[in-house]
Amino acid sequence: MADAQPEIEEFRTEVRAWLAENFPPSLKGRGAVIAGAETIGPEHSEILAWGKRLGAKGWATPTWPAEYGGGGLSQHQALALNQELDRVGAFNPLILTAGMGITMVGPTILEYGTEDQKRRHIPPICRGEVFWALGYSEPNAGSDLASLSMKAELNGDHWVVNGQKTWTSGADHAQWIGVLVRTDFDAPKRAGISFLILDMNQPGIETRPIELIGGASPFCETFFNGARAEKNDMLGELNDGWTVGKRLLQHERQSQTGAMTGMGGGKRKSLKNVAKEYIGVDSDGRLADSDLRSRLAAHMMDAKAHSLTIERVIAEARGNAKVSAAASILKNAASSVQQQRAELTIEIMGHKGLGWEGEDFSQEELAAVRMWLTGKAMSIYGGSFEIQNNIIAKNILGLPETTQRG
């Protein structure tokens, strides 16, 4: 999408000048460090310093209100910013150092939070100073999330929380967590849920990491045993947490659509070039494997169509895009595109794409197999592929609700 507006080009000039002065050239293209790490610690001091500069500028959360520490940019300006970040191989470390604060919790607090909650929680998220986790799923409440049983009981000026959450990404590193709890056991199951914010630094909360096949894992089991949440740390109204929780999931799906460009540290090596490197070309300069050539071309068209659809959504929203059920379409499309790429990469690399460790494999080859394994979760987390299809059927196509009651 071309930016015809003079003000956008003027903004691009500002961004380029700022990046030239503030982005360390030594970090160019190192966005994979962000994507592959569980946490960014003291050993990543240069990355932390870069994130601090980006956060202070407000550009780690470019469209958030400037009064709370965001960039106050339009969607078109944010798109231009992300394109310029990609152009120089830059990335946004705060996506990791804030946990789910930027992608999910922050946008929901901005929409449902009191002024006090916004003032306390949004600026530290914008600066990447606080790591957030979320407690949704439970051992007996996964896709049927409304069956959750973790309870919160009011005790004077605070809530007492007891129960268990699972798949709580980053909970072992988080300082704060947002949780869905049951506050009315007599109400219909969706009507008795509230959304609470808890300080993780308390003895009533215990986390246990869950190891995954891909190696590093952010997932945890989290146990609440008499944990405390302040009375004024309920997000939204009492027993209306289902509304807040669903809205947060829309923000999560939006973050998984591939619309958040500028976060990967520059463009990845073209899959076409990877194929030429490992398989070779014929006398006409084409990939030697004609069947793979056809499938690779189909994948590239899917990826391009997905990218152009995102740009069209932003353009049609006149620079003021809103999160909606349409995010479910883009989330499923993004999952398919990324999983297709991972499958093709492994096939193209052959036995070199199946290495786990050792000097016989390059870092790119070792990353490929881990990405292939980890990518299987893309169509599960944030609401499974099937759940998204249900949302599309009900909220976009207008088909009748037949799957859940209560």
Backbone Cα Rg of the chain:
22
Q: Angle of helix 326-349 relative to helix 290-316, nearest 10 degrees?
A: 150
Residue 48 maps to which CATH number? Answer: 1.10.540.10
C-alpha span between 44 and 87 (Å, rounded): 22
Q: Number of structural domains, the chain?
A: 3
Judge whether 402 lies within some domain.
Answer: no
Distance CA(58)–CA(111), nearest Å, equals 19
Helix (H, G, I), strand (E, B) or coil at 263: coil
387 and 300, same domain (yes or no)? yes
- Which structural domain range is residue 112 located in? 6-126
Buried b (16+ CB within 10 A) or exposed e, 339-375: bbbbebbbbbbeebbebeeeeebeeebbbbbbbbebb
- Whether 141 and 241 map to the same domain: the answer is yes
Distance CA 357, CA 378 (A): 24
- Residues 388, 362 share a domain: yes
Give CA–CA dist 8/32, Å, rounded.
Answer: 29
Cβ pair 375, 342 in contact under 8 A: yes
Q: 111 and 94, same structural domain?
A: yes
DSSP assignment letter at 268? P
Active site residues: 252
Per-position pLDDT tens, the chain of length 406: 444 578 899 999 999 999 999 999 988 877 655 555 555 666 678 888 999 999 999 999 999 999 999 999 998 899 899 889 988 989 898 887 787 899 889 999 999 999 999 999 999 999 989 999 999 999 998 878 889 999 999 999 999 999 999 989 889 989 999 999 999 999 988 899 999 999 999 999 999 998 877 666 778 999 999 999 999 999 999 999 999 998 887 777 666 555 544 444 445 678 888 888 888 888 888 888 889 889 999 999 988 888 787 777 666 655 454 556 667 787 788 888 888 998 999 999 999 888 888 888 888 888 888 888 877 877 777 677 787 788 788 878 888 876 554 4
Q: Helices 6-22 and 45-57 meet at what angle, rounded to 10? A: 150
Domain co-membership, 166 together with 99: no
